[in-house]
Amino acid sequence: MTGRIEARLKDLEITLPTPPAPVASYVPAVVSGNLVFVSGQITSAPEGLKYVGVVGKDMSVDDGKAAARLCAINLVAQIKAACGGDLDRVRRCVKITVFVNAPPDFTQHPEVANGASDLLVAVFGDAGKHARAALGAGSLPRGVACEVEGIFEIA
């Protein structure tokens, strides 16, 4: 039987990727009590990295928003793995942090971060509403436009 969240993903035409393995000395997620801390997810796609560059210089805010959305899809893939494959265990997305690769004078971090926030609400409904920080970064791993990390409450 397909779970409620899996059915929602299907309705949204979202196929979760196999969670990418860490590229350095860390783990993808840590479960502590009923919280899962998911490491930062970048713009990995099955065909390789997407959205490489600086938002507001090499790409538009809309491209940055799409990059943040892709990071959030990877975040959901990692939380699924941390929950043993059962996304219905997710009770709430508590907080996300969105890092935007942007020049010093860039000010549209919240608009870019909405790509991740909107995806999480679309997938989890009210349980996807979260606290958030959106930050500018002078660079990000592999030169990607965004990185998103998250904290989730699970059953």
pLDDT in tens, 81-113: 999 999 999 999 999 999 999 999 999 999 999
Q: Is 29 exposed, middle or buried (0-12, 13-18, 19+ CB in 10 A)?
A: buried
The domain limits of the chain are 4-20+28-154
pTM exceeds cut of 0.75: yes
Pairing, β 131-137 against β 90-101: parallel
Question: Among 130, 123, 119, 150, which residue's Cα sits nearest to residue 41?
Answer: 150
Distance CA 21, CA 80 (A): 14
Question: Among 75, 96, 71, which residue's Cα sits nearest to residue 87?
Answer: 75
Q: Is the per-residue pLDDT at 23 higher than 90?
A: no
The pLDDT value recorded for residue 21 is 78
Name the fold adopted by 4-20+28-154. 60s Ribosomal Protein L30; Chain: A; (3.30.1330)
